Amino acid sequence: MRSFISDTFKYDFMGKRKLAMMVSGGLIVIALLAILIRGLNLGVDFTGGYTIEVGYQSAPDLNDVRAALTDAEMPDFIVQNFGTSTDVLIRMAPPEGGAGAQLSDQILRALASTSDTEIAMRRVEFVGPQVGEDLRETGGLAVLTALLFIVVYIWFRFEKKFSVGSVLALVHDVVITLGIFALFQVEFDLTILAAILAVIGYSLNDTIVVFDRIRENFRAMRRGTPAEVMNASIGQTLSRTVITSFTTLMVLIALFIFGGKIINGFALALIIGVIVGTYSSIFVASTAVLALGITKEDMMPVEKEGADMDSIP
């Protein structure tokens, strides 16, 4: 089967590294400003509060639902469809005065004006503020632990300069993804955190494929500068990178369009991560390794002391 892009495809990827760094730098600055100024729109999983699901017999107008909850003086809430147009999901902060036990009755009474038919209470779930804080801490710890193990793996699998390049690419991907969520105030919950961890895994897999070919070519190509070796390696893996990313995006876009509100954030995080991760594995990771001064000597296997003496009969 012929490759989508020829293995002999030639393009000066490393020659565009300064432009790529300017683009990446600009995106990271915007992302950091969005995170610092606007902040992440944390969901109930991290802030604590109630998740309430109600079922209508016919599709309600969500604006009427929001107006009814506002008139009932409910605390900060988010209203969205859940699965179908007749299922409504309400997320809200804990009410003051310890009225949580009667909350389901209060919600049903408040929503009675939005429908002429009976409204069913499907479920009521509560996450305490302390639990939400613990989830924030453990979620951040999970991301940092993943990055630490990645550094160790790449260090032993390749070379320490490659581990630095891979981590820089992963931090680049995570920061930009979080920045987009902060900029557009998309709700950030546990499913999005899971998507961030998946983005780390996807981006790392793509980067390792490129790094493996770079290592092989450093040993096989006797002539050529490090930049030329990297250009050849990226060109040889470009077909695999493009096809893998494109097919993954097709699935994610279908999930985003047809999966419903409950999975939109998860699919969106992965869509952003796949696009940014594909870009970073080509430009950010390889550029970082080149900037650290990778040479052919770094890729050569280290000979054990006394190897020459062992070969003497």
CATH number of the structural domain spanning residue 135: 1.20.1640.10
Residues in the chain: 313
Whether 165 and 107 map to the same domain: the answer is: no
Chain-wide mean pLDDT for the chain? 80
Q: Which residue has the higher pLDDT, 182 or 126?
A: 182
Above 50 in pLDDT, residue 288? yes
At residue 1, the pLDDT reads 42
Residue 240's pLDDT band, with cuts at 50, 70 and 90, is confident
- In this structure, the answer to whether residues 121 and 245 fall within a common structural domain is no
pLDDT the model gives residue 6: 55
| 43-57, 128-142, 188-202: range with lowest mean pLDDT | 128-142
Looking at 112-116, 145-149, 298-302, which range is the least confident one? 298-302
Q: Count CB atoms within 10 A of the CB of residue 291.
A: 14
Mean pLDDT over 124-131 rounds to: 70
Cβ atoms within 10 Å, residue 246:
12
| 96: pLDDT strictly greater than 70 | no
Q: Which of 3-7, 156-160, 306-310 has the lowest mean pLDDT?
A: 306-310
Predicted local confidence at residue 309, as pLDDT:
47
Q: Which two tokens stand for residue 123?
A: 């479920």
Domain count, the chain: 2
Task: Mark 250-279 as b/e (b = at least 16 C-beta within 10 Å).
Answer: eebeebbeeebeeebbbbbbbbbbbbbbbb
Q: Is the pLDDT of residue 298 over 70?
A: no
Residue 294 domain-assigned (yes or no): yes
Task: Report the pLDDT value the prediction gives residue 307, as an integer from 0 to 100.
Answer: 47
List, for residues 44-90, the tens digit of each pLDDT value.
777 777 888 888 888 888 888 888 888 887 777 778 877 778 888 88
CA 51 to chain centre: 24
Predicted pLDDT of residue 133? 67
Query: Poorest-confidence range of 48-62, 273-287, 291-305?
Result: 291-305
Tell whether 309 is covered by a domain: no
58 and 34: one domain?
no
Q: Are 138 and 239 found together in one domain? A: yes
User: Do residues 241 and 277 both lie within one domain?
Assistant: yes
pTM: 0.76
- CATH number for the domain spanning 89: value is 3.30.70.260
User: Which residues span the domain enclosing 219?
Assistant: 14-41+131-299
Q: In terms of domains, do 142 and 291 share one?
A: yes
Q: In whole angstroms, give the CA distance from residue 174 to residue 169.
A: 9
Q: How much of the chain is in helix, strand and coil states, percent to nearest 5?
A: 65, 10, 20
Domain stop point among 127, 162, 185: 127
| pLDDT exceeds 80 at position 30 | yes
Among all chains, which residue has been given the structure tokens 């992965």? 270
Domain closes at, from 90, 109, 127 = 127
Average pLDDT over residues 122-145: 74
Q: Mean pLDDT over residues 232-257, rounded?
A: 88
| CA dist., res. 37 & res. 16, Å (int) | 32
Same domain for 148 and 101? no
Task: Supply the pLDDT for residue 9.
Answer: 61
Strand residue runs (E) in 145-292: 187-188
* Residue 213: pLDDT over 90: no
Q: Does residue 127 register a pLDDT over 50?
A: yes
* For residue 174, pLDDT beyond 80: yes
Q: State the DSSP H helix or E strand holding residue 85, giving kind and residue range, or none if neither.
A: strand 84-92
